[in-house]
Structure 1
């Protein structure tokens, strides 16, 4: 099934609202489950990944219910017996919930889509084992694996290589308040996406924990978490295609509800589009970006904001000069090998795009229509939409996969263009 990405017929003049942040939503659900009392999570993302997280927490004993304002999450309960957790292809679920499984007395089996079996998790499972967890993975260091809970985890000091994903570190830090001794983590590799680490630390503090950081060492002491009410910010990374659209079409787009202060990596878009020649205004109405329809080639290190790479790579195919994206080797272990996918798919449409060791090199070249394969990757659907603004006949494969982070994206995209 494909979706014909619409071409912009003129300058844009639109306002859009994006759903809640997936990263914040799933962290909030985990911290709510670890709290002493129920937590109402307001304005959460309602997507497959978020539902998989709620399903996993329910299997671990943290029930939840939909309310008029959001989702109310109850604390974890001990429980016994065997349960199975469906991971889908949700990295946050696969990485954040195994530590929670050590807190009860259940035997918990984890498995998911074929894609999640290719995504790295070995360093996290190894660190949890070093802290006393009972984990059987058959030597795969990937799903499927089993965690046998024995009523809690002592915690303590551990080293972890989080260079493949900052979620390994976040997983340990989020669960640490529930460990008897808390946890002290020393990093042995440089994790990507420093903003996501800052997000984890900020949310721990909001729920009542007291995390500390000294360079590459993190300490979270045991704590009783409690927060009756938490509101999720809009997902700024999912706003990326809307933010960059006026750079290709001219005109202006306003993303409503953009926070004035945030730890989300997507906030970096404000400085990027300014560097590319756009006018940017942030006020109470949101973030407004006005572009001219032309942009220069640039050299960008996206190590801290790797998830934006697909949309930015699509955008830079229309630059006046060559561009280089670096610092994103870790994208080879996401929903798909995003670097290989982008080089292949953009090249098939006439683009001059080549892989480097840690990124992409993009040179100006005329593009043409054709099928843009998305490899069940939500960010590639968004990239295909951006290409379609200027290139007729872009057929985006499996657009429904964008529901991972933005249910209703296709409808919102058409509404922006109609406006």
Structure 2
């Protein structure tokens, strides 16, 4: 049960409201944030703090103007400082939630910096923690994705000073908050989009959270304990991973790590997985399970070279006894091109495609010079030609035009070539190995999978 006394006892125990800091409250006019505002307004003697409310009109719903008027009147009548920010945007077709979240936090950051010293209080509750935890688990299951929402975290913003982000309602469920609102007649608005099951979070909220609560009456406390202990465990693991990095890193340059492949392979695979996720954090990309498997399989394979594309900018490469993790220089398909593909090497693309060159096995037979047995993966170039079935040659440009391949697709094509002789274009062209190839060539097999 949520009461004012219990709430402020929790704030005291966790020291969430330093006496010299302003509480910046993110308020949406929904029941959660309006209850939090009411709790702060009714702080006990000795715990009253300077307060600043931040409200954002996202201009996404017809009632947003009414809600803006409501919060302005509410704060004016109670002499509460209020900052209103309006999100001016054009037509939005996708990524609306993420774009709105970015604008929201940019606004919060700016207000906190102007009110310093200050802490940011948000009205996330225990049901939100369950939803976030469930969605992160469904999305990746990655160790560093969890624990999700925490009571207190430190928010770093580039050159701006860091500050505390506090979620003092995390011990309480949505039903606790609604009961408090009813007891104290807290005015608020309901967001009708919260019932729209087209959004994943709403489906989790309506289907999974109630079932989770039915399992045990103490689930709220268990979720809070889990997030606290997992955050502590992450800190310990990061300390250990930092030690492992000292063992495996040969050289660290801006945006690039060169690591000892032999030292890496001596670690148990579970530790390799955690270390890989730790190394990849500067890329800003949470590795998918598939990417982790591809990277570890490549590192632990007998191959002398190969690579896995992590994002459009970041990749992991192996070269004999070294592992390189860093940023690309040029991007095509998110790929650094051209790439020389030598025997027994493999290249992965971010969408799952892979190119592999072997001396034998399935695939496209290619004749390569004995002196430099390599196939180049690259974009098309002036002078490229293909060999027709009758043995005649045709420019690649004319071939693509005849096949009515759109210009945009032509610009994105990745092909396998030896010199200017094109041997393979996925789904478009395969050159047949002739019995009359030059005597100073050898046959290798190119395998492309998607």
TM-score (norm 2): 0.24
Q: Which has the higher contact order (CA 8 A, sep 6+)?
A: 1
Q: Which has the larger radius of gyration?
A: 2
